[in-house]
Amino acid sequence: MLDDFLVRAALAGVGTAIAAGLLGCFVVWRRMAYFGDATAHAAVLGVALALLFGTSITLGVGAVALAMALLIHGLSSQGAAVDTMLGVLAHAALAIGLVAVTLIPGQRVDLDAYLFGDVLSVTRGDLAVIWGGGALVVAALWWHWSAMLTATLSPDLAYAAGVNPRREQLVLTLLLAAVVAVAIKVVGALLITALLIIPAAAARNYASTPERMAFLSMGIGVLSAVAGLRLAVIFDTSVGPMIICVAATIFAISAISFQLRRVGT
């Protein structure tokens, strides 16, 4: 079954969508969209470094995304002007990465694969990384769910209940780096944030509790991945952007139908 590249692509998409859909809820609730962008864009720099040192792409991407996430985590705790700083870091990391990739001697790098994903070339090894990383993210969120939710609602309430919100934020930061490393092969560095945010945002209108929103978000992510792959094959387009197009369409339907229902009542 895994010999079929389409099956591998579908499995890669589904694994990534589950992890991103779940983590994406926290990205939305905590308004970490730009944080996600900065971490994801740093992945391109990770690709360059991995090629330069001859290590695996996942390792390079994971390491650089982690370094970027920790840097932002540290800076934001000092109360710097976070929004501007994230903007600077996100685009600086992207630009440096793009320049670095082209400067690597003796390599002709297919940049598109890293910017927009290349899910059709996913190997068994990639699948193992995606599902391993995805399982790690889901398990960690399952374990930390209540503490993270409390810290998200109010750091002070968390402290009073004996939960350290700084620690919870650090865990989220680490998980974000993990999702970036997992997702770059599927949707590419530029669209990772979209895969985090759009399913969660589409789920918001039809959820009454955080848990329902999380499950719905994962479902929408999986549907987008499968339908996006199918449509991309039919229309012969690249897969990553098509997955995001499907997710955005679901979001639009969710938003419009919610408004219509509200007007109707």
Partner 1 sequence: MSLIDARHIEFSHGGQKVLQGVSLQLDPGEIVTIVGPNGSGKSTLLRVLIGALTPQKGAVTRQEGLRIGYVPQKLHIDPTLPITVNRFLNLPHPVDPDAAKEALRTAGVAGLGAQQMSQLSGGQFQRVLLARAILGRPDILMLDEATQGLDQPGSAAFYRQIEAVRRDIGCAVLMVSHELHVVMSASDRVICLNGHICCEGTPEVVSAAPAYRELFGTGTGGALALYRHDHDHGHDHDHHHHHEAAE
Residues that bind partner 1 (CB under 8 A): 28-31, 146-147, 149-150, 152-161, 163, 200-201, 204, 207-213
Q: Which is nearer to partner 1, 99 or 153 (CB)?
A: 153
Q: How far is the CB of 168 from partner 1 (least distance, A)?
A: 10
Cα separation, 87 vs 80, in Å, equals: 13
Q: What is the DSSP string of 81-122?
A: -HHHHHHHHHHHHHHHHHHHHHHSTT----HHHHHH--GGG-
Q: Which is nearer to partner 1, 61 or 141 (CB)?
A: 141
Q: Which is nearer to partner 1, 41 or 144 (CB)?
A: 144
Q: Number of C-alpha atoms within 13 angstroms, CB side, residue 4?
A: 5
Q: How far is the CB of 247 from partner 1 (least distance, A)?
A: 16
Q: Which is nearer to partner 1, 33 or 104 (CB)?
A: 33
Q: How far is the CB of 15 from partner 1 (least distance, A)?
A: 25
Cα separation, 146 vs 150, in Å, equals: 6
Q: Which is nearer to partner 1, 29 or 87 (CB)?
A: 29
Q: How far is the CB of 182 from partner 1 (least distance, A)?
A: 24
| Of 256, 248, 188, residue with least CA distance to 221 | 248
Q: How far is the CB of 103 from partner 1 (least distance, A)?
A: 41
